[in-house]
Structure 1
C-alpha cells in the first residue's frame, strides 16, 4: 500500500464509523426520541447510552481474534464484509418498526455497535502496522479524526433536521446506506489484499498481550488515559441536551448546528495536529493534552445564549481534538509489534470505559439539582491532576 491509499482507507472507514453508529445519523433523533417519546430522565438516558456502548469496551477481544484468526485466508477483507453486512441487516430491521420500544432499541443498537466496533479495531490495526512502516502513525491518526470530524459537521446538521422534521425509523433507514457503502469500499480498497497461510495461536497472542500489559510503561499510559478522560460532562447526545433544551431553550435544530460547529473545529484541530505532531516531543504532547482538555471543559461555563454557545463549541472542538490526538499518539507508540490490534484496542477500551461512569454520575447529580457549572469545575480539576502523573511515565528514559 502507498501512503495515499492508506490515507484514503483511514478517511473512508472512519466516515463509515461516524455515520454508522458513533454517533450515527440516528444519534440526535434517538436522544430526542428517548427524552420526549419514551420519557427517559437524564440519568436513565446516560445509562442507556452506556449500555449500548458496551461493545466498544471489549474491543481487546476483537483485537485478539483479528490478530490470530483468518477468515478465508484474509485478515481484513472477510471481517469487514461480515461486519458491514450484519450492520446493514440490523439497521434495516430497526427502520422497519414505526414504534420502537426501549428493549428493541437496546438490542438492535448493541448489535450495531458490536459490528462497527469490530471494524474499527481492524482499521486501527491497518493504521498501526502500515503507519510504523512509513513511520507516520500520527499522520494516519490525524487523517482518521479529520475525516470523522468534518463528517460529523454534516452529520449533526442532518441529525438536527431529522430530529426536528422526521422520525427515528426514517433516521435508521437513512443510516443503513452507510454500511452498504462500506461493503462496496471493502471490495474496492482491499481488492489487492493477499491471502495469508500462517496464523498465530490465540494462546501465544494472549501471552504477548500479557507481557505488554504488565510492563511499567504500558500501565502508566493506561493510567494516564484513565485519569485524563474521566469527566462528569457528557457529549451533545447525552444529558447536556436536557440542559440546552430545558434551561437555555435551544431547539433540536440549533443543538444540531452546535454539533456541526464543534465538528468543524474538530477537523481543523486534527489537521493542525497532523501537520505539527511529528515535530513535538511526547512530553509537550501530554502537557498540551492536559491543558487544552482543562480549558475546553471550563469553556462550558460561559454558555448563556446562542452566541456564546457557538463560540464555546468552536474552541471546545479545536482544543479537544488536539488533546485527544495527543493521547492517542502516545497510545499508538506504546503498542508492541505482533499484537497491535489487541493492545491498541485495550488502550482504547480504557479510553472509552472511563468516559462512561462520569456522565452517568453527572446525570444523577444534574437530576438532583446540582448546577452544570459545578460539574464542569469538578471535571476540569480532575483533569489538571494528570500533571502529577507525567513523571510516572518516565518519558526521558525512552
Structure 2
C-alpha cells in the first residue's frame, strides 16, 4: 500500500513538474509577462468572470426578470454582437495606436466599459429588461475588446514561431478552463448568498484588473509612422487621408487573404459548424431547476455541474496537447465532431429520464453527460483555433484573427437564435418541457449532419504553413513589423507611460 501511495505521489509530482517546465519553456521563448497577460485575460476574464456571468445572468433572467426560456435564449444571442465587431476592434489596435502603443490603451478601455456595465446592472434594482440587456452587452464588449488585444499578440507569436501555435492555444485553454472551474464552483455559493444581482456586482472586479493591466504593462512603441508624429508637419486633412489609406490597406489585405481557398473554406466550415450546432441551453437550465418536471438541482449544484464541465474542458485540452496536436486538421476534426454528436445522445437520454430506468441517479448521470460533452467539444474546437492562427498574415494579424473570431461569433449567434426559435416553435416554456426532448433530438441530428462539411477543412498538419508566402510578404511591405513588440511588466519603481 505504501509503495502504491508513493508511486501515485511521484506521478503527481511528475505531472506538476512537467507543467511547470512547459510554462517555463513558454516564458523563455516568449516572455514571462506574455504568459501572465494570457492568464489575466483568459483565466481571470473569460474563465472566472465568464463563468460567474453565465450562472448569475441565467438566474437573473429567470428569477428577477421572470422571462421565458425562448426569450432568454434570444437575448443571450445578443451578447455576441460585440464579438461580431471584433474586426473593428482589431482594426483599431492594428491601425490606430495611441502615442505609439497598440495594445495598452485598449486594455484600459475594455476594463472601464466592463466595470461600469457590471456595476450598473448590480446597483439598479428595478432595471427594465432592455436596460439590463444593454449592460450585459457592455460586459460582453469588455471581454471582446480585451480578447482581441491579447489575441493579436498570440496570433503574431504563432506566425513568427509556428511550433508554438498549438502550445499557445493549449495555454489559453488551460487558463480559461482553470478560471472557469473556480468561477463555476463559486458561482452557486455567490448566487445563493448574494442573489443574482449581487453576484453580477462581483463582475466589476475582473475589469478593474484589466484596467490595472493596461497601466502596468510595458509595450515597446511600434516603428510605424504614427499619427502623433505627423502633427508637426502635416495638416489635419493629410492626417485623415493617411488614416483612411491605412484602414483601406488593412481591408484590402483582409479581402485578398480571404479570397484564397485555403482560407475561405475552413472559415466557411467554422461558421456552418457553429451555426448548425443549435443551442438549447436555456431550456435545459429551466428544466434543471424545475421542481416538478426536472431534477430540481439547487443553485449550488448547478454551479458544481458547470465546474465539472470546466474540469472536463481542461481534460479535453490536456488530451489535445498530449496526444492530438500532431494529427492532420481534417482527420482530427472529423473524429472529434463524430464523438461530439455521440455525446449529445447522453443529453437526450437524460431529458427522457431513461437514466432512472437503468438505475443511474440524476446527480451521477449529469456528471457523465456534462463531462462527455465538454471533453469532445474542446477536442473538436482546439484544432480549429490553431488553424485560425495559421491563417493570419503578418502585418494585419490582429485584424484578420479578429475577423476569423467574428465569423465564429456569428456562428454562435445563429446557433443561439436557432435554439431560441426551436424552443419557441416546440412550445418549451418556464413550466412546460414536454417537447424539450424533441429539441435535443433535432440538435443531435444537426451535429451529425456537420460531418458532411469536414471536406472544407484542410488535410495539412498543424505545424505546416497554409498561406502562400507572397501574402505575408505583401502585408509586411505595407506595414513594417516590429519583431520586438512584446508585453513586459514595468517594474514598480519604473516609469509608466500612457
TM-score by length of 1: 0.91
Partner of 1:332: 389
Q: Using the alignment, how far apart are the partners of 1:21 and 1:8 within structure 2? A: 17
Counterpart pick for 1:224 among 246, 269, 272: 269
- Cα deviation, 1:255-277, whole Å, max 9, x if unaligned, reads 11100000111012112323334
Q: Using the alignment, how far apart are the partners of 2:374 and 2:213 within structure 1? A: 29
SS at match of 1:249: coil
SS at match of 2:365: helix
Q: Using the alignment, how far apart are the partners of 2:93 and 2:219 within structure 1? A: 19
Q: Using the alignment, how far apart are the partners of 2:408 and 2:39 within structure 1? A: 21
The 5 A counterparts of 1:113-124 are 113-124=140-151
Shift of 1:73: 0.9
Q: Computing the radius of gyration over CA atoms, which structure comes out larger, 1 or 2?
A: 2
Q: Using the alignment, how far apart are the partners of 2:53 and 2:377 within structure 1? A: 23
Q: Using the alignment, how far apart are the partners of 2:322 and 2:460 within structure 1? A: 24
Shift of 1:196: 4.1
Matched, 1:39 2:66: yes
Moved over 4 A (4+): none
The 5 A counterparts of 1:76-225 are 76-135=103-162, 136-188=164-216, 190-198=217-225, 201-225=246-270
Report if the CA contact (8 A) 1:164-1:252 is conserved: yes
Shift of 1:342: 2.2
| 296 and 67 in structure 1: CA distance in 2 versus 1, 3 angstrom threshold | farther
Q: Using the alignment, how far apart are the partners of 1:103 and 1:387 within structure 2? A: 38
- Cα deviation, 1:363-392, whole Å, max 9, x if unaligned, reads 314535663333233223322233322334
- Cα deviation, 1:275-332, whole Å, max 9, x if unaligned, reads 3344221222222332232122222123241110011112222221111112222222
| 164 and 205 in structure 1: CA distance in 2 versus 1, 3 angstrom threshold | same
| 343 and 370 in structure 1: CA distance in 2 versus 1, 3 angstrom threshold | farther
Greater displacement, 111-120 / 378-387: 378-387
Q: Using the alignment, how far apart are the partners of 2:366 and 2:319 within structure 1? A: 23
Shift of 1:49: 0.8
| 338 and 137 in structure 1: CA distance in 2 versus 1, 3 angstrom threshold | same
TM-score by length of 2: 0.73
The alignment covers a number of residue pairs equal to 394
Counterpart pick for 1:373 among 412, 433, 437: 437
Q: Using the alignment, how far apart are the partners of 2:115 and 2:456 within structure 1? A: 45
Report if the CA contact (8 A) 1:45-1:239 is conserved: no
Counterpart pick for 2:96 among 69, 91, 94: 69
Point out where structure 1 has 5 or more consecutive residues left out of the alignment: none
Report if the CA contact (8 A) 1:7-1:140 is conserved: no
Q: Using the alignment, how far apart are the partners of 1:286 and 1:19 within structure 2? A: 24
Shift of 1:359: 2.1
SS at match of 2:277: coil
Shift of 1:169: 3.0
SS at match of 1:363: helix
Matched, 1:382 2:458: no
SS at match of 2:170: helix
Report if the CA contact (8 A) 1:297-1:380 is conserved: yes
SS at match of 2:50: coil
